[in-house]
Structure 1
């Protein structure tokens, strides 16, 4: 595969993360081509030019349609607000580009399905940015489960909490609207935990969900009357997996003290595995073997024995970070494009996650089969 040209739309938190990932991916993983940071899109034009210079892109534009049709761009990275994902992704696929889109896929299930159909028709590769599943600790958990280290799986618990909306006097933003953001905590954070759950336990076959808006209004940033919050601050669900196991899931953007708490537990007949993203380089394993007086949790600290940790540093305990996970994700996408295989999670895979979060939102205490 020749050096692919990267077109980046959006320069916020995740836009910068993509720029860092594609800028570093060749140095970290020698088996992928060196991407060309070709074209960056943002508004206004002076911001686009400044960010292109900072991120190392050759050119800048304010027109995303010009970016997706540019012949020098092979991969379009979409890191814009959620409402723009579907239109941009479909246009890029129709222009023959591969698409790396941030989560959630879209505002609605219909949009996500249209994106999936466009990907199928185009024959191009797609990936959705569920980068937490790239963590070597998480991948080791999958290996342990596959090897039977905790026996037959019987139960899953997953909790993802942050406090960025805990303060009731925090000003209103676009994230409070269904037209701009779609779902709230479910779409912003909960989908990450569900990507982890599916990777560990398999497909989800039904949900019983409940969602709540804790702070029903927020102060207008312009002053005056408070503005309504239209989506969920908290969401919880009972999950049933296709294998018959039960799961518990909860997410909150109003949990004081939690910064990026993504905790899962997988219970089996011979032990359990526990992980917390706030200590992302550790995995906790319990196995019911040996004398009971000597049983207890083991803390596994990730290192080169947990690929691809060693591509970043040869020293155990030196730790990986959030941006490193996106670099791993970029490498996986480049490999999929080179091999002509589907990346994971592709639009088709991510649609299953969209179906789960929208079912939880619609459930209102009723069981919904998927």
Structure 2
């Protein structure tokens, strides 16, 4: 993620010439050698082997946090205390209470924040949200969402920070936060949930090939039933042991007048079905991303030439910097990340109690 952020800060001005000019001032890594190498590779002016040097430097105005989850809170609070604007990768922190502490600190200090839910920066997802808001699907009747990958499907892959419970829950936070955030982006707040959250791989080796193993205490699969505040229901799945899947982040939204289907595996396509047509010729229409879908044209003047992951990250960073320049929230900010985390925590509680849990 550090590389993705570095790419995005370098590309943001080229795509969005109206934003404040980003100067790549300082980069920090786990030691000075790695930091110096990264500074050379990504074009930063200076480097440090300690993150505190970066957040306390008077020439740094914006801090990006791209570390494992357990470090987010300490780094963010230090940066906020130093008056910096903060971009932090998701999830915001392992603890809901600590996330709220980060929200309160940022809002009290008046700094801008953003959290790395870059998938919703896709111009086709913005189109989908606009179509829903305009009533093109009519009353929404259902949502089916999933984020499934397979990077943890091998039971011999080593125990790591991702499955250390000190860092919070497992896939429901790591991948689930993306599809929960996407659901909220498209349809608004989730009012209540019930869930089945389970561990599939019971233990993992402490290192690749090691005989010693550690018990896995976080979830590998989460299946959630949701009711939205707008009145419709739906399902959400998060799964990092879905063998063969690399990026199945997607949704199907059904409405009285039509439906929309999207998958990050084909992120430049949105499928739209309009009800009521001739039964002989009706079906899903493929909408291909192009310059008519802002800000696609900032990257390429020709439709069908495809945006990619790093372009979405560049859109995210460009919007963040523009928001700082204009003194407004660009989102998703710390507050929205906290709201997403409330759904995660409610789903875990619902799975334990085998009941419906309302989102406060």
Tell me how far 1:33 sits from its aligned partner: 2.2
Are residue 289 (structure 1) and residue 276 (structure 2) matched?
A: yes
For residues 219 and 307 of structure 2, what CA distance do their matches in structure 1 show?
Answer: 32
SS of equivalent residue, structure 2 residue 316: helix
SS of 1:36's partner is: coil
**Aligned-residue offset at 1:290:** 2.3
1:214 equivalent among 192, 197, 200: 200
Find the residue that maps to 1:165 and give its secondary structure. Answer: coil
Where does 1:1-370 land on structure 2 (aligned, <5 Å)? 14-179=1-166, 181-221=167-207, 223-364=210-351, 365-370=354-359
SS at match of 1:218: strand
3-state SS of paired residue (1:24): helix
Counterpart CA distance in 2 for 1:219 and 1:63 is 30
Q: RMSD of the alignment, in Å?
A: 1.0
CA distance in 2 between partners of 1:230 and 1:369 (Å): 25
Q: 2: distance between equivalents of 1:326 and 1:58?
A: 22
DSSP-derived class of the 1:292 partner: coil
Deviation at 1:140, TM superposition (A): 1.1
The CA distance in 2 between the partners of 1:107 and 1:141, in whole Å, is: 31
Q: Counterpart of 1:37 in 2: which secondary structure?
A: coil
Runs of 5+ consecutive residues of structure 2 not aligned to the other structure: none
Per the TM alignment, residue 327 of structure 1 is displaced from its structure 2 partner at its CA by 0.4
SS at match of 1:262: strand
1-side partners of 2:190 and 2:224: how far apart? 12
Q: Which deviates more, 288-297 or 249-258? A: 288-297
* Contact kept? 2:226, 2:235, Cα under 8 Å: yes
Following the alignment from structure 1 to structure 2, what is the Cα–Cα distance between the partners of residues 85 and 40? Answer: 16
Q: Is the 8 A contact 2:20 2:322 kept in 1?
A: no
> For structure 1, which segment, 135-144 or 251-260, has the greater mean C-alpha deviation from structure 2 after superposition?
135-144
Report Cα offsets for 1:300-329 as digits up to 9, x if no partner. 111001110010000111100000001000
CA distance in 2, matches of 1:326, 1:279: 17
Deviations 1:107-160 (A, max 9, x none): 010110000010111000000110000001111111111221111111111011
Q: Separation in 2 of the partners of 1:193 and 1:40?
A: 30
Q: Secondary structure at the match of 2:74?
A: helix
- Please say if residues 31 and 50 of structure 2, whose CA atoms lie closer than 8 Å, have aligned partners that are also in contact: no
Distance 1:361 1:173 in 2: 21
> Structure 2-normalised TM-score?
0.97
Runs of 4+ in 1 over 4 A off after TM superposition: none
CA distance in 1, matches of 2:128, 2:301: 21
Q: Partners of 1:167 and 1:298 in 2: how far apart?
A: 38
Task: Provide the rounded CA distance (Å) in 2 between the counterparts of 1:350 and 1:219.
Answer: 32
